[in-house]
């Protein structure tokens, strides 16, 4: 609304001027007459303002709005229009909030808004059921003080929310809750907890199935391999039969490798990562031992393996898991490298106290488009080639898993025809 001098104001000013002139003409006191008229005008204006102020103080309603003519009346109308607009907006916001409240109240998952110090700012009713957090009483409390679980405390402290956290609901031993933290502003995070009982049960059934099936197949397979090996030792044999037995033996050994890798993966998945925090592992001894094992293996093609240990530092972890990592990476270097091509293994400590294991080969290399996928299960760049070399496509998945359990970082760079460089860095806290 545009506020300009109204017609009533102009009329009133003209009348006042006329009255002043007449009064001056009659009395002959021009200045006094005009002053008296101006004073009267001022008092009238102030009284209008006082009425508007009183109306504002008492609370703006259309019914009690002062009926004032002229520009002051226009001000009243403008205030009423602004009030109507803000009323409409408030109502819309209230509706929106009510809908949001109803939705969060109905949610079976616990939702919390926490600040940078992890203090509860808001919680929905399910937070009480799942975590014992009272949406009214516990506002302002650090979430770690209410849900006393060291896993959550560690997760919040590490502030790495890329992977969700599985933990037990208070008062239960089953790890049936899943926590996701979603930062949505610099100040606030969404703390989202889902009951994963059904999903986890399904997942457990799947893992148990893979483990049991692999176990069940291992024994008969070992027997078959035994028979095939003793059969293949017979010298007098028809060539076709020999080829058949050798082929069957190859495939059985491949199956055995696959079962071993599947069992290793399910073991890693079914045990807590805290079980990887074992005694300090003598990496120098472990590297030497693994190098010898690779050199004695059937797929070794006489590539010179150079092992350079620039540090004696030990790694806090699980020696079996660490050996499987070293073995898998060196095995790959051997499998995908031509005979006589050198492979360099280096173990050293970095300036920041972390320790690095690197394996450099000069083999066929991996095209850049495959690199983001090679740690996925059963991902093989060249299925036929991997199969010929006895590969299962699970080796690097095992490596990735074990590294995660040892807080290590895996990096693989490669160039076709030049070679592959695998680097594993373990943080200082893991070194001793």
Q: Which residues contact 162 (CB under 8 A, 6 or more apart)?
A: none
Q: How near is the Cβ of 331 to ligand ADP at its closest, in Å? A: 7
In the list 113, 165, 265, 366, the residue contacting ligand ADP (rule: CB under 6 A) is: 366
**Is residue 286 within the footprint of ligand ADP (CB under 6 A)?**
no
Ramachandran class of 419: left when φ > 0, alpha when ψ lies in -120 to 50, beta otherwise? left
CB nearer to ligand ADP: give 326 or 381. 381
* 403 in contact with ligand ADP (CB under 6 A): no
Per rule CB under 6 A, is residue 146 in the interface with ligand ADP?
Answer: no
Say whether residue 332 binds ligand ADP (CB under 6 A).
Answer: yes
Using CB under 6 A, which of the segments 209-217, 281-289, 310-318, 329-337 binds ligand ADP? 329-337
Q: Total number of residues binding ligand ADP (CB under 6 A)?
A: 23
* Interaction between residue 214 and ligand ADP (CB under 6 A): no
Residue 73 or residue 365: which is nearer to ligand ADP going by CB? Answer: 365
| Of positions 143, 386, 405, 431, contacts ligand ADP by CB under 6 A | 386
As a whole number of angstroms, the distance between CA 250 and CA 237 comes to 18
The yes or no reply on residue 405 touching ligand ADP (CB under 6 A) is: no
380 binds ligand ADP (CB under 6 A): yes
- Reading across the β-sheet that carries 120-123, which strands appear in turn? 120-123, 110-115, 188-195, 177-183, 165-167
* Residue 424 binding ligand ADP, by CB under 6 A: no
Among 403, 395, 361, residue whose Cα is nearest residue 376: 395
Confirm or reject binding of residue 324 to ligand ADP (CB under 6 A). no
Which residue, 127 or 264, has its beta carbon nearer to ligand ADP? 264
Cβ of 201: how many Cβ atoms within 10 Å?
A: 12
Q: Which of 179, 324, 361, 426 binds ligand ADP (CB under 6 A)?
A: 361
CB of 197 to ligand ADP, least distance (A): 33
303 binds ligand ADP (CB under 6 A): no
What backbone phi and psi angles, to 5 degrees, belong to 181? -115, 125
Nearer to ligand ADP, 166 or 260 (CB): 260
DSSP string computed for 222-254 = HHHHHHHHHHHT-SS--HHHHHHHHHHHHHHHH
Closer residue to ligand ADP in complex, CB, 118/327: 327
Question: With respect to ligand ADP, which residue has the nearer C-beta, 118 or 380?
Answer: 380
> Is 395 a residue that touches ligand ADP (CB under 6 A)?
yes
- Which of 265, 333, 345, 357 touches ligand ADP (CB under 6 A)? 333
Question: Which of 318, 324, 392, 407 is close enough to bind ligand ADP by CB under 6 A?
Answer: 392
Q: C-beta of 286: minimal distance to ligand ADP in Å? A: 19
Provide the minimum distance between the beta carbon of 392 and ligand ADP in the complex, in angstroms, as a whole number.
Answer: 5
Does the footprint of ligand ADP cover residue 381 (CB under 6 A)? Answer: yes
What's the residue count for the chain?
432
Q: Would you state the structure tokens that stand for residue 143, as one six-digit string?
A: 């979430």
- How many whole angstroms separate alpha carbon 306 and alpha carbon 300? 14
d(CA 52, CA 67): 10
Q: Which is nearer to ligand ADP, 21 or 410 (CB)?
A: 410
Closest distance to ligand ADP from the beta carbon of 338 (Å) = 11
What is the distance between the alpha carbons of residues 349 and 430, in angstroms, rounded to a whole number?
A: 12
Exposure pattern of 302-314 as b/e (b: 16+ CB <10 Å)? Answer: ebebeeebeeebb
The encoded tokens of residue 88 equal 């409409």
How distant is the alpha carbon of residue 26 from its chain centre? Answer: 90
State in angstroms the smallest separation of the CB of 327 from ligand ADP.
Answer: 11
Q: Which of 336, 402, 405, 426 binds ligand ADP (CB under 6 A)?
A: 336
User: In b/e form, how buried is each residue of 21-55, taking b as 16+ CB within 10 angstroms?
Assistant: eebbeeeeeeeebbebbeeeeeeeeeebeebbeeb
- Measured CA to CA in angstroms, residue 133 lies from 125, 126, 151 at distances of 8, 9, 17
Instruction: Give the single-character DSSP code of 142.
Output: B
Measured at the alpha carbon of residue 364, what is the angle toward residues 358 and 370, in degrees to the nearest 5?
80
Residue from 276, 303, 354, 420 binding ligand ADP (CB under 6 A): 420
Should residue 127 be labelled a site residue for ligand ADP when binding is judged by CB under 6 A? no
Q: Given the complex with ligand ADP, which of 307 and 316 has the nearer CB atom?
A: 307
Which stretches of the chain bind ligand ADP, using CB under 6 A? 328, 332-333, 336, 361, 363-366, 374, 379-382, 386, 391-397, 420
């Amino acid at each position: 609304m545009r506020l300009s001098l109204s017609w009533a104001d102009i009329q009133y000013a003209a009348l006042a001027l006329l009255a002043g002139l007449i009064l001056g003409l009659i009395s002959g006191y021009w200045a006094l007459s005009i002053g008296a008229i101006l004073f009267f005008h001022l008092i009238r204006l102030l009284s209008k303002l006082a009425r508007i102020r009183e109306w504002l103080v008492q609370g703006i309603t259309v019914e009690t709005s002062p009926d004032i003519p002229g520009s002051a009346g226009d001000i009243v109308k403008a205030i009423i229009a602004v009030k109507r607009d803000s009323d409409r907006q408030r109502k819309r916001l209230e509706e929106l909030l009510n809908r949001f409240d109803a939705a969060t109240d109905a949610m079976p998952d616990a939702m919390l808004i926490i600040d940078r110090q992890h203090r509860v700012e808001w919680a929905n009713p399910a937070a009480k059921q799942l975590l014992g957090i009272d949406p009214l009483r516990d506002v302002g409390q650090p979430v770690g003080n209410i849900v006393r679980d060291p896993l959550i405390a560690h997760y919040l402290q590490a502030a790495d929310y890329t992977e969700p956290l599985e933990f037990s609901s208070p008062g239960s031993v089953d790890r049936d809750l899943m926590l996701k933290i979603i930062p949505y502003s610099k100040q606030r995070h969404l703390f989202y907890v889902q009951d994963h009982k059904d999903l986890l049960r399904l997942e457990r059934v799947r893992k148990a199935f893979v483990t049991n099936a692999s176990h069940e197949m291992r024994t008969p397979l070992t027997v078959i391999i035994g028979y095939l090996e003793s059969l293949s030792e017979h010298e007098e044999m028809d060539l076709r039969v020999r080829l058949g037995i050798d082929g069957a033996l190859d495939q059985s050994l491949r199956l055995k490798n696959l079962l071993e890798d599947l069992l290793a993966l399910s073991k890693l998945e079914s045990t807590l990562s805290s079980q990887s925090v074992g005694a300090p592992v003598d990496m120098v001894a472990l590297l030497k031992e693994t190098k010898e094992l690779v050199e004695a293996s059937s797929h070794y093609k006489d590539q010179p393996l150079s092992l350079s240990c620039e540090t004696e530092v030990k790694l806090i972890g699980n020696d079996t898991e660490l050996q499987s990592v070293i073995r898998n990476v060196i095995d790959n270097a051997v499998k995908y490298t031509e005979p006589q091509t050198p492979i360099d293994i280096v173990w050293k400590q970095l300036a920041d106290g972390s320790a690095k294991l690197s394996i450099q080969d000069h083999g066929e290399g991996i095209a850049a488009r495959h690199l983001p996928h090679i740690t996925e299960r059963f991902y093989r760049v060249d299925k036929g080639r991997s199969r010929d070399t006895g590969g299962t496509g699970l080796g690097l998945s095992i490596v990735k898993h074990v590294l995660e359990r040892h807080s290590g970082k895996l990096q693989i760079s490669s160039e076709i025809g030049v070679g592959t460089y695998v680097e594993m860095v373990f943080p200082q806290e893991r070194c001793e």
